[in-house]
Structure 1
Amino acid sequence: MFRSLFRKWRESRNASLQLDAILAAADPEAPLADRNGWLIELGYWIRRDGLPGAEGVAADKSRREHVRLRYLLQVLGRNPEVAGRFARMVRAIVRDNDPVTLLCDTGVASHPGFWSEVLNRLQARFLPPPPNRSDMAGLFALLFIDDNDADWVEALDGDLLERLAAVLRTDDPQAPGDAAELPEWDRFDRTLTTSIQVLVSQVRATGLSQAIRSRLKGKVQDTPFFRLDSAVQALCDEEEAARGGEAFAHRLNYFRALLDGCHQAAQRVYDDLEENGVSVEVVFQIERMKVRLARIELLLATWVEPQRRGRHAHLIAALIRSTQARRSIGHLAGTSFSQLARKVVERSAETGEHYITRDRREYRELMRAAAGGGLITVGTVYLKFLIYGLHLDKFIEGLLASLNYAGSFLVIHFAHFTLATKQPAMTGPALAHRLDAVGRPEGREIFVEDTIAMIRSNAAAIFGNLAVVFPVAMGIQWLANRILGANLITPAKAIATIESFSILGPTPIYAIFTGVLLWLSSLVAGWADNWFALHKVHDVMAYNRRLRYVLGARGATRMADFWKRNMSGIAANVSLGLLLGLGPEILSFFGPHMEVRHVTLSTGSVGAAIGVLGIAVLKMPSFWLAVAGIALMGLLNVAVSFALAFNMALRSRSLRPVDRRALSSAVRRRILKHPWSLIVPPRAPVGGASAEQGQV
């Protein structure tokens, strides 16, 4: 029994009644819920697979839905009584369902905030609207559920629409003799003007809100939002609209100019957000206002262009697409977070420019900075051994490891040194910027040059780190043994350390996990920089009364400037330390066991282990497996963090489709033609802007 019920439940998703049963069930006097359910059932029949068995129809090559509509009209044409009942049924449904909600609110976020709208959409996914409400928007949501519905509705030809309209006027007691005067149920103009006025009031309220108004220059009364209300009242005056003529055309042009002004004001708000930090809530309000402006323009075109063929089909198709987009949480998040993602990426790209070396002077500076980073990392390695050698509680171990990592990364940052594998998460967005110009040969050449420079710079940073961290870590252990006669780590710990880096173990998975953490730290850096700018923290600190009392006006300004310069770097390094130390412990508590595998830290650990075990370690197979594991570790650290950052940068920008295979081929050709360019930089910059000295 349960299997049968489950099969019926699964089949009910696309099943429908036969057409004769649907037509026989048409009852214009039935309750609204039954009438709406009848229309929904008709919609399922129209989308049903297969063609209806009518003469001359099966050979039709047009859309399946169009074929079924023609078949429906044929059946109604042969049965006038059924056609009359069908027309009265549809007219009753249209009459008793309020269309204003459909025209104004479909596809527009109904809640004032982003998170409340997310919860509302989650609820709508599991709780569809009931069919007993007199709400045309809810009926649309239940009627048009297929992704192709908008396409087949918009593709309806004029002849089919005219035949359908004629059928719907069958047995209409209000149908006039003059076709220019439509019955009340078919008079759409009044509904359109009412909906336009409702939308204008909503746009005006958003545009005059404090969040938007404070980001626009000039007086409030000079903004287009303030003048919208009087303009739409004059435009929608029924007597003036009925007369038409030059006066109406002038009002229409003025109203459209105000709509253009609203679009320009929205762009000015975006410009302010780009400069002063992005707020997701403000972006949400602007995106919702832009949707309403687009809806006003759609309704306006439908109203003032009555002779345009297919205008109603185009409007219904647009409403269907809006209804379906309204169900998507991904669409909401994409529109609301795109600006924040772009701001984060812009900050990462600005930092990433410092990591791309284009000539030998910059290459030498990067190698020096990387060597300094490797030297600091030696201390990090031995502190890590000390912390884990205490065998404390896992959370305490993770917290102490986080402080160790964060402190060491901050020292590297303020010493203007470089830590390998942090670069790719920054250079990815910088490289994605070059994609804006790859449609031109010179832009493609710059992209190729910067790609080669990025690969060369990352390789140089890793080499600079490893060239110092390995011998220094090994040398410190050797000196400790010679001078103090003691090992800083036990031989058993040294062997376990080498074996833990084996390429045959979970090292590749741990390296991928570490690459994700490196990327996440770059996101935190961009978010922190955006938060600092959005809330004008620099000005708050510079003009803080107590700070100025303690440090003086100049001292408060210098402190504010310091945080403005270093907020991103401090956030990146502290967050990376916390992620590397506490991240694996927290994840292991809730899910699979994870560990950190960072190529520089791991190489330093192997150096310390060799200092304990001596030259005999070269005869151990586990040592060579660890060497292979560290090589793969470095590749995965770089590749994963770069791929995630580059992909996010692409998604944050409105780029036209680019032939990626052509770009890849161009990069491969350059590598094959000049393989040494991956190792040896040119004597002078080849393309792109000159970069500053590399730093963390």
Structure 2
Amino acid sequence: MEITSELQQHPDTSHIRHLQALVAAIRPRHARDIAHATDNIRALCFVLQQHPVWRRALLQYLVQVLTSRKLLHLLTDTGITLNNGFWGAATQRLLSQCLPPLVNDDYVKDIFGQIFNKADDHVWINGVSDHVWMDLLANIGLRTVTARQTHHALSNEVLSAIQVLSYRITTIGLEAELVRNYPDIEKFESPFLRQNDEINDYVLRYRAWLNDRQLRRDDSLHIDVLLSQCDEIVSKIRKTAAANGVSVSLTRLLLRLTQSMSRLRKLLALLDAGQRDRISRTAIQLFKELVTAENRRHSLRDLIQTNTELLSLQVTERAGKSGEHYVTGNRGEWLGMFRSAMGAGFIVGFMAMIKVLMSKMALAPFGYAVLYSLNYSSGFMLVHVLHFTIATKQPAMTAALIARAIDQGKQKLDELADLIVAVFRSQLIAIIGNIALALPTAYAIAWAWYGITGSHLAPPEKAQHLLHDLDPFGSLALPHAAIAGVCLFVSGLISGYYDNKASYAHIPARLRQLPWLRKCLGEARLHAVTHYIGNNLGALAGNFFFGIMLGTIGQLGVFFGLPVDIRHITFSSANFAFALVGLEHQISWQLALYSLSGILLIGLVNLGVSFSLALLVALRSRRVSFGQGGTLLGLLWQRFRSDSRAFFLPPPDAVSPQQTDDDRHPSSDTRH
């Protein structure tokens, strides 16, 4: 090979261009072509076996590249979350796309990204088996005298990296954010402090052993015990955060802490590996991890995923807990859901009337957006305060419930099918309840308006427009219904976020500390109000912002000249009643049936989009995938054929799959 031949002529060079060329020669044309990459590595092994002079030249070159530069920062920084916060890291990654950072040739960390400079290098490097990489290390000359002489210098670099990681773990373990969530850290001897003492002793003994091999070298088993205790504390903090809420800063600290402990364990394993094969395997695993981290170092998508994973988990976890109350298990709960949905339908009838009246005003798009938003938000919040149920608010909650069932090991197909059947019939009866009272309420309002004023609430022109908005194929009703589904999904996330915020920020307790509020309400009423806010802040905020989204999206479309709007099944049914009265029933039965079909399709799109998005986020936040979807669908179809009644009516004595004996009768105030 030309590269090894050139290295033979210049044995003392440490320039990375030769290493870049060597990696480029091994790199396959397509990153997923693992077989080609494997063949290239084996071909290199064969060449080195046939030319011992080239093998010695390559080994000397690699030793020169590593020992002439600082290895420390590659081991301690690459793959570890930065300490500059999410927005600082995001800004840095965006700027690096336009202006790459300065490369310092004195650090292996900087040249590492130049050697593996393709964003998909980690694909083929991780794809090649460890045995192939171990063969390459052996053929380069890992067991030679030169390599053993290099071991001393590299071991000192690894020991320095271990100390840096240990100090970092100690610092993070004493952060006020962690102490706040686990106060026992201050009461007892902290393992975060003890592991640092043990690491320092370990490093001293190991360096002494490097200088005098006659000395006894201790292993790191006792350090691993302390790190396991640190893991237990991290696990307890996560559980506390699940109950008391979590912040972005806590998420970042826990992520940085777990990454540092994981890297520390790998470096300790590298030093403690007594046999050459164990050293090679450990080094290869670390090498693959470093290449992956380097390739993703400037990825904004990866930053968002790693920083929001725990936060999204807590948000969807709370949504999942709320979802339990949207699943009816017996006939009493099922009828209760129907009555609750009917109450919401009654209120929606008046909300639809108010919107029609507002649309008759001569206002700019901003004015319409404000009025529509106030109407929607106040109405949805009133629905929640009165313990009623909007059917389309259910999917974001029940999707997280299903994801939690899969994650908790309850993914046995029979149990999961039972849960999905219960969710289906619960949402179906809620939709029926909404429409069952929204449509007659709107119909009665329209005739009452005509009787009082002598004019229709929706004149013939307006009525024709309302009917056109229900046309599933002759208008943009279904795309607009999909937009409403996205709004429903976002409102579910907002609800989870504010529920988390209320717990983590101790909002009820802080409100009770306000002297002026205590003076205005009195002690007993203050406690009741703050308790209600603590339990319902998420639902109120979700409904408020959902109303804002529904009220503004259509007007943004008008302002920007874009065909965007929203369609919601319950409001669509009310609008159909207004149109029916406005045209004084002068429509064909075919048009009426077609419009009703449009309403049902709008509802299906509302529910389908919001449920799909919520389930996707819930599964991704838990790093869970469900690969038995086809089998599950087949099982559900068999159940529908054998017992279709269960999809629509619950057995009288059935129990919800997600409820215990203590919560079979949840209070209605938690159903939204």
User: Aligned partners of 1:167, 1:235: CA distance in 2, in Å?
Assistant: 26
- 1:426 is aligned to 2:426: no
Partner of 1:108: 80
Q: CA, structure 1 residues 101+214, in 2 after alignment: closer, same or farther (shift >3 Å)?
A: same
User: Are the aligned partners of 1:371 and 1:468 in contact in 2 as well (CA < 8 Å)?
Assistant: yes
Give 1:226 deviation, angstroms.
Answer: 1.7
Partner of 1:24: 6
Partner of 1:237: 204
Where 1:373 maps in the other structure, the secondary structure is: helix
Partner of 1:162: 138
Partner of 1:390: 361
Where 2:588 maps in the other structure, the secondary structure is: helix
Partner of 1:269: 237
Give 1:206 deviation, angstroms.
Answer: 1.2
Give 1:323 deviation, angstroms.
Answer: 2.5
User: Aligned partners of 1:244, 1:439: CA distance in 2, in Å?
Assistant: 54
Partner of 1:4: none
1:282-321 maps to which residues of 2 (within 5 A)?
282-309=250-277, 310=280, 311-321=282-292
- 1:455 is aligned to 2:424: yes
Where 2:220 maps in the other structure, the secondary structure is: helix
Give 1:114 deviation, angstroms.
Answer: 1.9
Give 1:460 deviation, angstroms.
Answer: 1.1
Partner of 1:344: 315
Instruction: Provide the identity percentage.
Output: 26
Where 1:398 maps in the other structure, the secondary structure is: helix
- 1:401 is aligned to 2:372: yes
Partner of 2:504: 534
1:492 to 461, 475, 492: 461
User: Are the aligned partners of 1:420 and 1:465 in contact in 2 as well (CA < 8 Å)?
Assistant: yes
CA displacement 1:510-563 (0-9 Å, x = unmatched): 111111111111111111111111111111112333333443333332221020
Where 1:326 maps in the other structure, the secondary structure is: coil
1:447-596 maps to which residues of 2 (within 5 A)?
447-504=416-473, 505-586=475-556, 589=559, 592-596=562-566
2:339 to 356, 368, 375: 368
Question: What amino acid does structure 2 have at the position aligned with 1:271?
Answer: K
Partner of 1:260: 228
Q: CA, structure 1 residues 163+390, in 2 after alignment: closer, same or farther (shift >3 Å)?
A: same
User: Aligned partners of 1:166, 1:436: CA distance in 2, in Å?
Assistant: 44
User: Aligned partners of 1:525, 1:489: CA distance in 2, in Å?
Assistant: 35
Q: CA, structure 1 residues 246+27, in 2 after alignment: closer, same or farther (shift >3 Å)?
A: closer
The RMSD of aligned alpha carbons is: 2.8
User: Are the aligned partners of 1:370 and 1:418 in contact in 2 as well (CA < 8 Å)?
Assistant: yes
CA displacement 1:12-37 (0-9 Å, x = unmatched): xxxxxxx426743774566x6xx112
Where 1:614 maps in the other structure, the secondary structure is: coil
1:48-127 maps to which residues of 2 (within 5 A)?
48=28, 63-74=38-49, 76-77=51-52, 80=53, 86-125=58-97
Deviates more, 1:304-313 or 1:149-158: 149-158
Q: CA, structure 1 residues 633+246, in 2 after alignment: closer, same or farther (shift >3 Å)?
A: farther
Deviates more, 1:99-108 or 1:39-48: 39-48
1:152 to 115, 125, 128: 128
User: Aligned partners of 1:245, 1:208: CA distance in 2, in Å?
Assistant: 39
Where 1:63 maps in the other structure, the secondary structure is: helix
Give 1:86 deviation, angstroms.
Answer: 4.4
Give 1:631 deviation, angstroms.
Answer: 1.7
CA displacement 1:324-349 (0-9 Å, x = unmatched): 34344333322321221121112212
CA displacement 1:564-600 (0-9 Å, x = unmatched): 1221221121111101001333355457321111111
User: Are the aligned partners of 2:45 and 2:139 in contact in 1 as well (CA < 8 Å)?
Assistant: no
Q: CA, structure 1 residues 87+432, in 2 after alignment: closer, same or farther (shift >3 Å)?
A: closer
CA displacement 1:633-682 (0-9 Å, x = unmatched): 11111111111112222222244754222222222211111112222221
Q: Structure 2 unaligned segments of length 5 or more: list them.
A: none
User: Are the aligned partners of 1:325 and 1:331 in contact in 2 as well (CA < 8 Å)?
Assistant: yes
Give 1:434 deviation, angstroms.
Answer: 2.5
Partner of 1:196: 162
Give 1:475 deviation, angstroms.
Answer: 2.3
What is the TM-score of this pair, normalised by structure 2? 0.89
Give 1:405 deviation, angstroms.
Answer: 0.8
CA displacement 1:33-91 (0-9 Å, x = unmatched): xx1122112210122559xxxxxxxxx999223223224415643xx3x6665444333
Question: What amino acid does structure 2 have at the position aligned with 1:362?
Answer: E
Question: What amino acid does structure 2 have at the position aligned with 1:307?
Answer: Q
- 1:280 is aligned to 2:248: yes
Q: CA, structure 1 residues 203+115, in 2 after alignment: closer, same or farther (shift >3 Å)?
A: same
Q: CA, structure 1 residues 130+95, in 2 after alignment: closer, same or farther (shift >3 Å)?
A: farther
- 1:207 is aligned to 2:173: yes
What is the TM-score of this pair, normalised by structure 1? 0.86
Where 1:111 maps in the other structure, the secondary structure is: coil
Q: CA, structure 1 residues 558+639, in 2 after alignment: closer, same or farther (shift >3 Å)?
A: same
Partner of 2:22: 42
User: Are the aligned partners of 1:474 and 1:609 in contact in 2 as well (CA < 8 Å)?
Assistant: no
Q: CA, structure 1 residues 154+210, in 2 after alignment: closer, same or farther (shift >3 Å)?
A: same
Question: What amino acid does structure 1 have at the position aligned with 2:602?
Answer: M
Partner of 1:662: 631
- 1:638 is aligned to 2:618: no
User: Are the aligned partners of 1:94 and 1:185 in contact in 2 as well (CA < 8 Å)?
Assistant: no
Partner of 1:674: 643
Q: Structure 1 unaligned segments of length 5 or more: list them.
A: 1-18, 51-59, 170-174
User: Are the aligned partners of 2:59 and 2:141 in contact in 1 as well (CA < 8 Å)?
Assistant: no
CA displacement 1:400-437 (0-9 Å, x = unmatched): 00101111112211111122211122221123232246
CA displacement 1:95-118 (0-9 Å, x = unmatched): 222111111111112333122222
User: Are the aligned partners of 2:395 and 2:607 in contact in 1 as well (CA < 8 Å)?
Assistant: yes
Deviates more, 1:124-133 or 1:507-516: 124-133
Q: CA, structure 1 residues 545+161, in 2 after alignment: closer, same or farther (shift >3 Å)?
A: same
Question: What amino acid does structure 2 have at the position aligned with 1:224?
Answer: P
User: Aligned partners of 2:509, 2:345: CA distance in 1, in Å?
Assistant: 37
User: Are the aligned partners of 2:358 and 2:372 in contact in 1 as well (CA < 8 Å)?
Assistant: yes
User: Aligned partners of 1:96, 1:532: CA distance in 2, in Å?
Assistant: 54
- 1:356 is aligned to 2:327: yes
CA displacement 1:226-277 (0-9 Å, x = unmatched): 223321111111465457899753x733322221122122212212211211
User: Aligned partners of 1:349, 1:417: CA distance in 2, in Å?
Assistant: 19
User: Aligned partners of 1:84, 1:675: CA distance in 2, in Å?
Assistant: 75
User: Aligned partners of 1:301, 1:397: CA distance in 2, in Å?
Assistant: 65
Q: CA, structure 1 residues 246+545, in 2 after alignment: closer, same or farther (shift >3 Å)?
A: farther
User: Are the aligned partners of 2:619 and 2:625 in contact in 1 as well (CA < 8 Å)?
Assistant: no
Q: CA, structure 1 residues 65+187, in 2 after alignment: closer, same or farther (shift >3 Å)?
A: farther
Q: CA, structure 1 residues 308+585, in 2 after alignment: closer, same or farther (shift >3 Å)?
A: farther
User: Aligned partners of 1:123, 1:397: CA distance in 2, in Å?
Assistant: 40
Partner of 1:227: 194
Q: CA, structure 1 residues 49+482, in 2 after alignment: closer, same or farther (shift >3 Å)?
A: closer
Question: What amino acid does structure 2 have at the position aligned with 1:277?
Answer: G
Question: What amino acid does structure 2 have at the position aligned with 1:574?
Answer: F
User: Aligned partners of 2:483, 2:547: CA distance in 1, in Å?
Assistant: 14
User: Aligned partners of 2:37, 2:587: CA distance in 1, in Å?
Assistant: 75
